[in-house]
Amino acid sequence: MRIPDAFLPALRKKLHEKMKHPKACPICDATSPLALNSRIFTMSEYGDGDHTFPLLVLACETCGHTKFLSAVMLNIINLEGALLHPETGKRIPRWETK
């Protein structure tokens, strides 16, 4: 699922507020900001694959080390899979995500 460009600044702000103490990359020691991918990805449970987890993807701009954050725990996606506005938590209509 693509995150609309109009909502990326609010999402970056929300992530910045959550990451109170940014640390150096554990791989290359760079302190450059993490790049936010504008899509939400899913990871599925190994085996039967009945459970999937929507994830935000952050990557080190120097070496590409990747971190995953739960889109549900950050209140970016609800349990039904609808995209939520990063500041208001209100559901974003599907047509606005294209």
* pLDDT tens profile 9-34: 888 888 888 887 667 888 999 988 88
**Residue 46: is its pLDDT beyond 60?**
yes
**DSSP-based three-state secondary structure for 56:** strand
Spell out the domain ranges in the chain: 5-97
59 pLDDT band, cuts 50/70/90, is very high
Q: What is the reported pTM? A: 0.76
The residue type at 53: F
pLDDT level of residue 52 (50, 70, 90 thresholds):
confident
Backbone φ and ψ of 54, nearest 5°: -75, 135
* pLDDT > 80? residue 61: yes
Rg (CA), the chain: 14
